[in-house]
């Protein structure tokens, strides 16, 4: 066999391997993909075409959008209250709890606003609906004014009462969207709110005492 035949054979093999590699890259996955279901619902099996399309099988519904918009406002009031604690609270444990609320809910607000932006939905109106006083757990303007005026043990008691009610409202909203919403990411965020704020409610009740 001449060197020319060997060289030509090698070129043919390399070319064939390259074509096969390109074909493999271009081909979509042939196996089904399992999409996690909403809480309490079974998982869904997607075809290869559905999984590779990048299009959500169940788009967000109005309940998802309203929940995210309202939760941005709801978290905003929690931050307003927690920001008062460093200069007014007496109990060190309460100050630590307020710091935890600030850190956690700032991150969550970024996630909520990011979801609205990705889905082309307007940001929440922080001043609409009468200051959102009708939202579950929201403090009234008079209650916020009294909290700002309080210091020491009085502030601690008022803060705990208002924040417990505020957290209970957030948990109620999260439970509602789990029943009426459709978006898997919103369900995950609602799960997080329920778990985290239920834990904090227990901590605050213990701090408040009988």
DSSP string, the chain: --HHHHHHHHHHHHHHHHHHHHHHHHSPP-S-EEEPPPTTS--EEEPHHHHHH---SS---HHHHHHHHHHHHHHHHHHHHHTTHHHHB--HHHHHHHHHHHHHHHHHHHHHHHHHHHTT-PPP-TTHHHHHTTSTTPPPHHHHHHHHH--HHHHHHHHHHHHHHHHHHHHHHHHHHHHH---HHHHHHHHHHHHHHHHHHHHHHHHH--
Residue 30's pLDDT band, with cuts at 50, 70 and 90, is low
Q: Report the chain's mean pLDDT, rounded to a whole number.
A: 83
Q: Does the structure show a pLDDT above 90 at 19?
A: no
Q: Does the structure show a pLDDT above 60 at 55?
A: no
Give residue-wise pLDDT tens across range 76-104.
999 999 999 999 999 999 999 999 999 99
Sign of CA dihedral 17, 20, 26, 32: negative
Give residue-wise pLDDT tens across range 144-168.
999 999 999 999 999 999 999 999 9
pTM: 0.73
Nearest to 134 by CA among 192, 78, 173, 177: 173
| pLDDT value, residue 25 | 46
Sort 193 into a burial class: Cβ within 10 Å, 0-12 / 13-18 / 19+.
buried
How far is residue 10's CA from residue 12's CA, in Å, rounded to a whole number? Answer: 5
């Amino acid at each position: 066999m001449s060197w020319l035949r060997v060289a030509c054979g090698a070129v043919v093999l390399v070319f064939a391997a390259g074509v096969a590699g390109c074909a493999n890259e271009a081909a979509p996955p042939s196996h089904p993909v399992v999409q996690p279901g909403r809480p309490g619902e079974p998982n869904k099996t997607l075809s290869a075409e559905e999984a590779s399309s990048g299009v959500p099988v169940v788009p967000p519904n109005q309940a998802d959008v309203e929940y995210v918009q309202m939760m941005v406002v709801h978290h905003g009031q929690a931050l307003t209250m927690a920001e008062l604690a460093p200069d007014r609270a007496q109990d060190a444990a309460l100050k630590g709890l307020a710091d935890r609320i600030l850190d956690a809910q700032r991150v969550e607000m970024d996630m909520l606003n990011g979801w609205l932006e990705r889905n082309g939905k307007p940001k929440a109106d922080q001043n609409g609906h009468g200051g959102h006083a009708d939202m579950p757990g929201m403090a009234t303007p008079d209650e916020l004014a009294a909290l700002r005026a309080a210091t020491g043990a009085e502030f601690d008691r008022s803060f705990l009462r208002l924040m417990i009610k505020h957290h209970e409202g957030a948990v109620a909203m999260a439970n509602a969207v789990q029943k009426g919403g459709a978006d898997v990411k919103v369900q995950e965020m609602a799960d997080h709110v329920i778990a985290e704020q239920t834990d904090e409610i227990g901590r605050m009740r213990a701090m408040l005492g009988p």
